[in-house]
Amino acid sequence: MIDQKKKEIRVKIKELKKEVALEEKKRKSYIIFEKVEKMNAFKNAHVIMAYWSMNDEVFTHDFVQKWYKHKRIILPSVKGDELELRIFEGVENMRAGEAFGILEPEGIFDGELSEIDLIIVPGVAFDIENNRLGRGKAYYDKLLKNTSAVKIGVCFDFQLLDKIPVDEYDIKMDVVIDDKNYGTQGSAF
């Protein structure tokens, strides 16, 4: 039942994403990352895990390139059924990955998961209780359950729903930020 509801939401959001031009997604993403950059959790973070966005996700390329010389930026790479963490050292040090053809940094992150202060997490949908619905492979949930880093879900306004179905494996975000609202942000951020 939960899996069917998750599947229905994924299909609906995929259709909504198709209706938004890439330039509009980039504009909305700029607003999202302006909000992220104002957060104390971001200002105080030394090591940040982000992601290199696909065309249907909140656009991260500008954010990553803006900050990698000031903060240590980690990007995930899909290896089998796990995420391998890699250090971003400029676009010139990236290559197409095997799983989704997304550009990935070449350098492996040699630190510990506990060193990551903040994680910017993509998702298909989020809800106002900070729950996240991913693409269904649980890559992020496996990693997020083992970290105490601040977890910031980022999404376009149409991806923030009142309620999404969750199970015991789904990891809640600390805050969800879209291009309209801050979601249910706590004062600690």
- Mean pLDDT, all residues of the chain: 91
The per-residue pLDDT for 102 is 80
Q: Are strands 94-96 and 82-87 parallel, antiparallel or unpaired?
A: unpaired
Checking if the pLDDT of 130 tops 80, the result is yes
The answer to whether residues 179 and 31 touch, using CB atoms and an 8 Å cutoff, is yes
The answer to whether residues 110 and 122 touch, using CB atoms and an 8 Å cutoff, is no
Task: Name the nearest CA neighbour of 123 among 169, 183, 176, 83.
Answer: 176
Domain boundaries, the chain: 2-177
**What stretches of the chain adopt beta strand conformation (E)?**
47-49, 72-79, 82-87, 94-96, 103-105, 107-108, 118-121, 125-127, 132-133, 150-154, 160-161, 175-177
Checking if the pLDDT of 162 tops 80, the result is yes
Checking if the pLDDT of 99 tops 80, the result is no
* The domain defined by 2-177 carries CATH number 3.40.50.10420: yes
The answer to whether residues 86 and 107 touch, using CB atoms and an 8 Å cutoff, is yes
Checking if the pLDDT of 100 tops 70, the result is no
Task: Name the nearest CA neighbour of 144 among 177, 175, 119.
Answer: 119
